[in-house]
Amino acid sequence: MPHCALCNSEDATAYEVSPRPDTVMLCQTCRTGLEEGPKDDPHWQCLNEAIWSTEPAVQVLAYRLLKGLPGAPWARDVLDIAYLEPDVLSWAEAGLTGDDAEDAIVHVDCNGAVLAAGDTVTLIKDLAVKGAGFTAKRGTAVRKIALVPDNATQIEGRVEGQRIVILTQFVKKA
């Protein structure tokens, strides 16, 4: 009996990973999540392992499902640490539904350069960090930034060991 490539449950059927003709075996729950959008549910914890699959098509589906869970902090954390080869990432983003592509929030730095999760940015002015009691100095490099999914003007990053929210108008891409 075939098993689902994402959650390993039984009774899986073939699913084509558009826009390429590759197929992956999926259970009905995973198929529904891809077609109608996933709801934050314990079932999707399987994506923690699926994103690290050696099969690019499985990585693509896991990425798309994780992107469909922007309100789930654990899903955002998995996306922050996941690495996809550039061609696999472009495949995954090419297959996102039209709504996701149209409503996608674009984060840009002070010079208009598009920022992506994992980029390194440099602060362009001293910033007082509220609640942490220090000032982030101009010229400080912030590595491996995370994008705030529902706000194009904010990113997250670590400065002096603290995870802080930074306005994009005060950073430039390194």
pLDDT at 97: 54
Domain residues of the chain, as ranges? 13-103, 121-173
Query: What six digits make up the tokens of 93?
Result: 């983003």
**Distances in Å between the alpha carbon of 154 and those of 25, 105, 110?**
38, 11, 12
Residue 86's contacts (CB-CB under 8 Å, 6 or more residues apart) are: none
Give one DSSP letter per residue of 68-92, joined into a string. T-TT-HHHHHHHHH----HHHHHHH
Interatomic CA distance for residues 27 and 89, integer angstroms: 23
pLDDT tens, residue by residue, 92-106: 888 775 544 444 678
pLDDT at 100: 44
pLDDT tens, residue by residue, 29-88: 999 998 888 888 889 999 999 999 999 999 999 999 998 888 788 988 899 899 999 899
Interatomic CA distance for residues 124 and 172, integer angstroms: 7
**Which CATH number applies to 121-173?**
2.30.30
**Cβ atoms 156, 164 nearer than 8 A:** yes
pLDDT at 133: 87
pLDDT at 104: 60
**Cβ atoms 34, 15 nearer than 8 A:** yes
